[in-house]
Structure 1
């Protein structure tokens, strides 16, 4: 069901973003165990973090920071590899923040408006394979990239195991300037927050689509800290320290606020009710805060299958098609227009 949202919705903590950040050796593997054993392990983990918060606050804050800024590694499927093998690949440079670093850029198509695709936390360009096919069929050129410390790109400023949404945004901007005039940006998950930052920095896109995007990094990190049992003072210490090397406050990563602070292009927010990694309420908050934005809700696709759903891909192509081209796209059962 598609819903048009005209007022902000409360931002719910993005539990999935938080959960994704805990994919490190410090996290206890809970899958495949019965409920009792899961509760025992979860309780032991919380006790460990609570003890660290009380006895070693500085070390615990550093550990939380290491977990939060460590992206998981996503293996490429055969479909993803096939898509990348068919691309024209080259490099863009991220400059102005220490030594220049290379971002791997992939291009498909030779005519039509340029659509830039931004993957999420721990993702890579190949995850867009189904969307790439759909946009090419709609007569567009497609550009995707691997953010720093992701895929085939160089490591970020803090090494291959660490990066941030700010570095993802700089990667996006580097790919955009390298690819030439960008007509639209389509972003998934944390790539949506990176795209919002890029729009604030002047990315001249005429349309944007955000798929399963989180609304508030501060709330997501607070959700992680609560789940682990980290004391609020330790969380605050971690955030103060990271603000020094990020060069900006955590409040700068609030996506709804970014849309209030400056003009944004027409935006389509697509979010699934069954997304367990980034809550639907996050998408509703973004759509409610960004002037003219539209929220469309799917069901049963979760956080990742939304990138492969034919109805969603059809809707993306229809939304970002330039005004000079036919704009009518038949709507299938997956998405209903309110």
Structure 2
């Protein structure tokens, strides 16, 4: 689900615009407002397509080199229509298995710096492309549409395929997918969430407000989507998972100035999940944080063999990495 999780997302980020871009944004807002009044059903359908349509991420040179080094195969998502293939990548031959879950519009190659750091720490690493992302098959609603629920099913398929998973490291909406997988019984001993969104309903409401869409149209879109999702939007609240289900020790890493997912979202998750730690960075944003050596070292420390126990040195609720 769209969370303000990509540079193309109209969600939570506040960006500087030129006068021309500002005029285009105002025109688009006017069109959404008019559609809400004249054709609420059609506008709800258009909002649904926008919200569930991930952007297309293109791997750069470092990402492609990482994927070329991997042992690649397939996992299957079953039980929701025809079986669909999820592309799975593996690195390393020994050590505990760490599963990496990308975010909205992401792909396995974005983890190139993290993979190298975890391999150096003696771990095996597994990453995957969620359905309708990267090299994986299209989801139930086609290649241009998917949801956090389908991302979670992709994660579970990769986890069962890769064998016992010691820890999950997730970025952005991949964190919400991880929370859903944990709720469904994923037996991880530790989790790391980087720039995680807290609540799908709140994020969608923010996007609708920014577009000028009224609450009735938003409510209609959410009711319609619940029919094919098979569950209410209230099920996609990450803090609630920690309040209502057993969860592993979790490290939440969030940059204070993240322009795509608010720092407050990460803080809310860390406050709700028992044994969770909040690590706050400064100046790394939403994506550059995945390449920071200090962050990667902290991840490796947290998900080491003692990850099931509270770790010394991470008790402070707010720690800045320079």
Q: TM-score, normalised by structure 2?
A: 0.92
In structure 1, C-alpha distance between the alignment counterparts of 2:112 and 2:157, rounded to whole Å: 21
Equivalent in 115, 118, 125 of residue 142 of structure 1: 125
Tell me the alpha carbon deviations over residues 259-316 of structure 1, each in whole angstroms, 9 at most, x when there is no partner.
1110100000000011000000000000000011010100000000000000000000
- The answer on 1:16 being equivalent to 2:4 is yes
In structure 1, C-alpha distance between the alignment counterparts of 2:52 and 2:3, rounded to whole Å: 15
Gaps of 5+ in 1: 1-13, 24-30, 330-334
In structure 2, C-alpha distance between the alignment counterparts of 1:274 and 1:207, rounded to whole Å: 26
- The answer on 1:80 being equivalent to 2:68 is no
Higher relative contact order (CA 8 A, sep 6+): 1
In structure 2, C-alpha distance between the alignment counterparts of 1:285 and 1:156, rounded to whole Å: 30
- The answer on 1:101 being equivalent to 2:67 is no
- Name the counterpart of 1:59: 42
Q: Could you say what secondary structure the match of 1:38 adopts?
A: helix
Equivalent in 186, 203, 215 of residue 203 of structure 1: 186
Distance 1:324-1:189 versus aligned 2 partners, 3 A rule: closer
- Name the counterpart of 1:268: 251
In structure 2, C-alpha distance between the alignment counterparts of 1:44 and 1:100, rounded to whole Å: 42
- The answer on 1:180 being equivalent to 2:167 is no
Quote the offset at 1:236 in angstroms.
Answer: 0.3
Quote the offset at 1:33 in angstroms.
Answer: 5.9
Q: Could you say what secondary structure the match of 1:17 adopts?
A: coil
Gaps of 5+ in 2: 314-318
Q: Does structure 2 retain, via aligned residues, the 8 Å contact 1:22–1:67?
A: no
Quote the offset at 1:109 in angstroms.
Answer: 0.3
1:1-338 correspondence runs (5 A): 16-17=4-5, 20-21=8-9, 34=18, 36-323=19-306
Q: Could you say what secondary structure the match of 1:62 adopts?
A: helix
In structure 1, C-alpha distance between the alignment counterparts of 2:148 and 2:40, rounded to whole Å: 25
Distance 1:246-1:314 versus aligned 2 partners, 3 A rule: same
Q: TM-score, normalised by structure 1?
A: 0.88
Distance 1:324-1:311 versus aligned 2 partners, 3 A rule: closer
- Name the counterpart of 1:6: none
Distance 1:254-1:131 versus aligned 2 partners, 3 A rule: same
Q: Does structure 2 retain, via aligned residues, the 8 Å contact 1:318–1:328?
A: no
Q: Does structure 1 retain, via aligned residues, the 8 Å contact 2:189–2:307?
A: no
- Name the counterpart of 2:316: none
In structure 2, C-alpha distance between the alignment counterparts of 1:49 and 1:245, rounded to whole Å: 24
**Root mean square deviation, CA, Å:** 2.3
Q: Does structure 2 retain, via aligned residues, the 8 Å contact 1:18–1:223?
A: no
Q: Does structure 2 retain, via aligned residues, the 8 Å contact 1:270–1:283?
A: yes
Quote the offset at 1:87 in angstroms.
Answer: 0.4
Distance 1:20-1:200 versus aligned 2 partners, 3 A rule: farther
In structure 2, C-alpha distance between the alignment counterparts of 1:324 and 1:62, rounded to whole Å: 44
Quote the offset at 1:22 in angstroms.
Answer: 5.0
Quote the offset at 1:39 in angstroms.
Answer: 3.1
